[in-house]
A and B are shown apart, each in its own frame.
Chain A
Amino acid sequence: MHTGTRWHYTLLIALLATLAGAFVGTTAAAQSDTDPNDAGVFGQLSFEDEESGEDVPAAGVTIEVEGVGSAETDENGEFRIAVPEPGNYIVALDVETLPDGVNLRNPDANPLEATVNQGRDRRVLFPLVFGEAEESTVGAITFRRVAQLTAEGLKQGLYLAMAAIGLTLIFGTTGLVNFAHAELVTFGMLSTYFFNFYGLAGVIGFLAPLPPPFGGGVNLALAAVLGMLSGALLGWALNRFIFRGARRAGVSLIAQMVMTIGLSIVMRYVFVYVFRGAPRSFGDYAAQRAISLGPVELTPKDLIAMGLSVLILVGVASYLELTRMGKAMRAVSDNRDLAESTGIDVERVISLVWMSGAALAAASGVFFGLDQTKWDFGFRILLLIFASVTLGGLGRPYGALVGALVVGLTINLSTLVIDAEVKNMVALLMMALILMFRPQGILGRAERIG
């Protein structure tokens, strides 16, 4: 049994490494068709303060160039987004991110069309005003929009699934609802960012001048693998040094749940302490032009990330179904005492579940981070992760997968009829409905959970 388990650790790591290898290969291929030059769109956002009459820069506003990427304005209200090649681009401002009380002077002039010429930056103007804005209208339902939203929903659902499966596995084996799971997503995202920019040892600051891969940053693909490995390490450490002791001391599950909340606050504010409040982008593949697949437009990095997440999810499923360790995980999940009495080392299973759950969450963070990295990203999708897990039935890994896809698709398609601003509310509504009519979740068995 002992050597057997070790063999499975190796298998897991080998699996991750293989996937990472695939990532390197495919992203390198994708990189060749984006040739970054110096052109981009830029601008400065500011509004007149009501009282002082001074121009105040609007910081932290998200600007997106359709099919290329997004950026947020810095403290001077300035932003710049590099575009891969000259041409016409659609530039959109995310109204939700404007400072309190500030609106677009002309809401109809958003998104804008901007022509970028060879080697020249193009200025775009979004005049802001403190106070009134016009009513927004939800666009017409067209086949094109439905297809695009379905693709985006699928993308969000796949990434969510990786985070949700980890949460549901930890719940299944230990009975603990881990409120800090969202921070594990952020951890993967941010550690990847740091490996991407500062390299293996350069993360420790004074070692940064070392030659790559130790200092100075590594390619995003390698950084992502390192991010996942450090996620797994963190998961192991959290279990080993915090929750294993709590379980042994007989700390109740509710107290452990409060512990995870404390942990989540600590992690979140350590993140903002180190990473600061502004969102950033990874160093590679930040500017990519979308390619059309029929009615759908996605960037190559999105396609690769989606493919990889499918691979990872299939990998997880086969691991759970085919290997001894995976079967042990499911056994502990079903009935801990029974599993223990058949000779399964439950603590070992739990440790591995924490590691793989955290690694999956980190992977989810890396994929979400392709658009943008931010210190509180995980917390912003916590509601969606919980909705996925609840929808699928707490403790059921395949349920979490199905739940995540349903959540991703539903909230994205819901923007056909409601404002994108409030799409996350739909997830809560779904959660309330499922709890009322099928509390065991879509794939859960009907058993007493009251």
Chain B
Amino acid sequence: MDWGFILERTFSTMFGVEVMVFAMAAVGLNVQFGYAGLLNFGQVGFMAAGAYGLGVSLSYFQWNFVVGILFGVVYSIVLALILGVPTLRLRADYLAIVTIAASETIRLFVRWRQMKEITGASEGIGGFADPFYDVAINPFNPGQRYEFGPFSYLGRDLWVLTVGWILLIVIVLLVKRMMSAPWGRALKAIREDEDAARALGKNAYMYKLQALMLGGVIGGFAGMLQVIQKGSIQPDTFNPVITFTIWAILILGGPGRTWSPIIGSMIYWTLISFLENVLRGLPDNQADALEDTIKLSDFNVSQVRFILVGLGLLLLARFRPQGIFGSREEMALDDR
């Protein structure tokens, strides 16, 4: 087994695109759930809103790239309003039910045949991301592979990663700042005791709606970065399992903590990548032996991965709802 190769792949994953995109989406979920206590089970819907806001503006309306980003943000806000306005006055479970349903509905809607001209239906949208790579300040050659010690990335990915990580860190710092500002403290007060916060004259509904929008926009950025890196938008990549992976990442890191989404995402993807590479890198005879006993073909490795995600989520929620590094006092998956 080529351990050098496996370790190189694992290290490259640590700062790779998946870690960055999922950390970004988890930062959004952290605002919604970690700080505001909102049960958003449709974060992938916000990613889709951002991605399609960008893609449709660029490929169908042929607008400028910056306008496209703007529309990605606008779509995410609109989605947050659609989801939040009817449900945020109600008990927390209603938002959970409506968001999970809405994220699946968005996927059905964009792959609808009638939407072919605009969203490309099941084919999706391609060839819109070039302005991002053609921009003059991009110092990397898209086709070249860059090596830094154990890390190795394609020039194209490296540009996305540079922009993405800078954006991610700026957003995390911004969220940290906002949460220590009066607005964030009011939000946490509402999470802890909504009645008390209302008694003090805070409009809980508006605060929650704003948190849903903020988290949604951050989720929209995650979706935009993801499709910019892929160069295409496929409706079926926005499926609910993505949402649950984001939840697993957030709970892994510990909800309500500043850097937990990034730490959670790194732990999650490094583990997954290591596991997959080891399983796939097994010499043929060992792989065959495994195959005979537990039928572990390539197809099944990804299924085993999802089973582990589910099991991890189940056990974390049961035994360490505050996450691996979280403290029970600050934040647990508690009743609100």
Contacts and interface: CB of A to CB of B under 8 A. Distances in A.
Interface of A: 95, 98, 100-101, 133, 135-136, 177, 179, 242, 246, 249, 251-259, 261-270, 272-273, 379, 382-383, 386-387, 390, 394, 419, 421-422, 424-425, 427-428, 431-433, 435-436, 439, 449-450
Given A257-B96, A262-B314, A421-B108, A251 B321 contact: yes
Contacts of A101: 122-123
Contact of A390 (B97, B303, B310, B332): B97
Given A136-B113, A246-B318, A383-B105, 18 more contacts: A100-B122, A252-B321, A254-B334, A258-B317, A258-B333, A262-B248, A262-B314, A263-B314, A268-B310, A273-B307, A383-B100, A386-B101, A390-B97, A428-B101, A431-B97, A435-B87, A435-B94, A439-B90
B105 A252 contact: no
B108 A424 contact: yes
B292 interface: no
Interface in B296-336: 300, 303-304, 306-307, 309-318, 321, 332-336
Given A262-B317, A425-B109, A436-B86, A100 B234 contact: yes
Contacts of B315: 262
B96 A422 contact: no
Interface in B90-109: 90-94, 96-98, 100-102, 104-105, 108-109
B306 A265 contact: yes
A450 B91 contact: yes
B295 to A, nearest CB: 8
Contacts of B310: 261-269
A261 B97 contact: no
Nearest to B294: A273
B113 A265 contact: no
Nearest to B334: A252
B178 interface: no
Contacts of A387: 101
Nearest to A177: B93
B307 A428 contact: no
Contacts of B248: 262
Contacts of A179: 41, 100
22 contacts: A100-B122, A101-B122, A242-B318, A246-B318, A252-B334, A255-B332, A257-B39, A258-B247, A258-B321, A259-B318, A261-B313, A262-B316, A263-B310, A265-B306, A265-B309, A269-B310, A386-B100, A431-B98, A432-B98, A435-B87, A449-B91, A450-B90
A354 B251 CA distance: 27
Contact of B108 (A258, A272, A425, A432): A425
Given A424-B105, A425-B108, A256 B86 contact: no
Contacts of B114: 135-136, 419
Given A262-B310, A422-B108, A439-B94, A133 B113 contact: yes
The 7 closest A-B pairs by CB, nearest first: A265-B310, A262-B314, A262-B313, A266-B310, A255-B333, A101-B123, A258-B317
A386 to B, nearest CB: 5
Contact of A261 (B82, B244, B335): B244
A123 B240 CA distance: 38
Nearest to A432: B86
Contacts of B236: 100
Contacts of A136: 113-114
B303 A431 contact: no
Nearest to B122: A100
Contacts of A273: 300, 303-304, 307
Interface in B28-64: 39, 41
A102 B274 CA distance: 35
B105 A450 contact: no
Nearest to A271: B303
Contacts of B163: none
B5 interface: no
A257 B39 CA distance: 10
B89 interface: yes
Contacts of A433: 86
Contacts, number: 158
Contacts of B132: none
A422 B333 contact: no
B336 A254 contact: yes
Contacts of A394: 93
Interface in B272-307: 300, 303-304, 306-307
A106 B122 CA distance: 18
Contacts of A436: 85-86
B311 A266 contact: yes
B98 A435 contact: yes
B112 interface: yes
B123 A252 contact: no
A252 B313 CA distance: 15
Contact of A253 (B112, B122, B309, B335): B335
Given A100-B236, A386-B101, A435-B94, A262 B109 contact: no
B236 to A, nearest CB: 7
Contacts of A242: 314, 318
B124 interface: yes
Question: Which among B108, B109, B314 has the greatest number of chain A C-beta atoms within 10 A?
Answer: B314
Nearest to A389: B97
Contacts of A424: 104-105, 108
A385 to B, nearest CB: 10
A208 to B, nearest CB: 18
A319 to B, nearest CB: 26
B97 A177 contact: yes
Nearest to A254: B333
Contacts of A135: 114
A100 B311 CA distance: 31
Contact of A421 (B87, B93, B112, B124): B112
A383 B109 CA distance: 14
Contacts of B271: none
A425 B314 contact: no
A266 B317 contact: no
Question: Which among A133, A255, A264, A267 has the greatest number of chain B C-beta atoms within 10 A?
Answer: A255
A390 B97 CA distance: 9
A100 B124 contact: yes
A379 B244 CA distance: 14
A201 to B, nearest CB: 22
Contacts of A255: 317-318, 321, 332-334
A254 B92 contact: yes
Nearest to A429: B105
Given A259-B318, A419-B113, A450-B91, A428 B335 contact: no
Contacts of B169: none
Nearest to B89: A450
Nearest to B307: A269
B170 interface: no
B123 A100 contact: yes
A267 B309 CA distance: 11
